[in-house]
Amino acid sequence: MELVIVTGMSGAGKTRAVNALEDCGYYCVDNMPPKLMTKFAQLVAQSKDQIEKIAIVTDLRGGDLFYSLFESLEELKSEGFNYKILFVDAKDEVIERRYKETRRKHPLLDLAEGSISKAIMLEREALRLAREKSDYVIDTSQMSSTQLRERMVKIFMGSNAAGMHIHCMSFGFKYGTPSEADLVFDVRCMPNPFYEDDLKNKTGLQKEVMDYVMGFPQAQGLLPRLYDLVDYLLPLYVKEGKSQLIVAIGCTGGRHRSVIFAEKIHEHLVSQDINCTLSIHHRDILK
């Protein structure tokens, strides 16, 4: 049985994540108190329906019941159920904006005396350990519904075939560093196509831009060093039992240099024929 525990910040997009899991063939249960998880897993295991994939959502909507999460996870493990934890996150200001737009009530709003920013702060502190122990962290701050679904499918449709999911991404520092990244490389030191009139409105996916950047000795010297570092670190992360590795490449705007280097690293990993699922996206390429 594949078991995914879904948790995370209120307003971060857990509902959209669960919808994607359903599309991946998971039987999903929302807002389950942690103490019921083991009993539910046992019932499913004994069922004649042969349900092989389960996703359980548990979060602070359950109030104090949520705080038995890690005790319940230990119980699951002792009963022979293996699981992965997915933590859905977003930046505080994004969550606050979403609540203002939807006018929904945050589960900790009363405790925070009506302050949405304080409620978010309290929830983040309460979920800190859950985030640290998660196998997968997805920050939806700058993701569309389609991008989130694609990311979920890449991770969970490939979960049988490989022990780790490696996600390469490009981003622009001017829009913020991705909080879920494990490795962050800054390529703002490379020559910038933005200052070339015939290249500034193009992206790093176009040959002219790629040829321009990779034509400099600085880029030719950096690329193999990045390959070597990723190749060295990858087996160490695998040995540690890490389920997800996010390699983020940043430049100023996220349209040119970072896109090129993210594509190059992704191509390099594909060529290595490693036993991992691979994906890539360019967060800020359209900005």
Domain ranges, ordered by start, for the chain: 2-160, 166-282
**pLDDT digit string, tens, across residues 20-62:** 999 888 999 999 999 999 999 999 998 877 888 999 999 999 8
Q: What is the pLDDT of residue 239?
A: 82
Rg (CA), the chain: 21
> Could you count the other beta carbons within 10 Å of the beta carbon of residue 270?
12
Of 7-16, 75-84, 109-118, 273-282, the poorest mean pLDDT is in: 273-282
Rounded Cα distance between 75 and 81, Å, is: 9
User: 140: helix, coil or strand?
Assistant: coil
Please state the three-class secondary structure of 22-43 as a single string: HHCCCEEECCCCHHHHHHHHHH
**pLDDT digit string, tens, across residues 60-73:** 998 889 999 999 99
Q: What is the pLDDT of residue 161?
A: 41
Percent of the chain scored above 70 by pLDDT? 98
Q: Fold for domain 2-160?
A: Rossmann fold (3.40.50)
Rounded Cα distance between 139 and 171, Å, is: 13
Q: Which of 187, 190, 153, 210 is nearest to 19 (CA)?
A: 153
Q: Residue 104's pLDDT band (boundaries 50, 70, 90)? A: confident
- Please answer whether residues 136 and 243 qualify as being in contact, where contact means their C-beta atoms are separated by less than 8 angstroms: yes
3-state SS of the chain: helix, strand, coil percent to 5? 45, 20, 35
Look at residue 242 and tell me whether its pLDDT is greater than 90: no
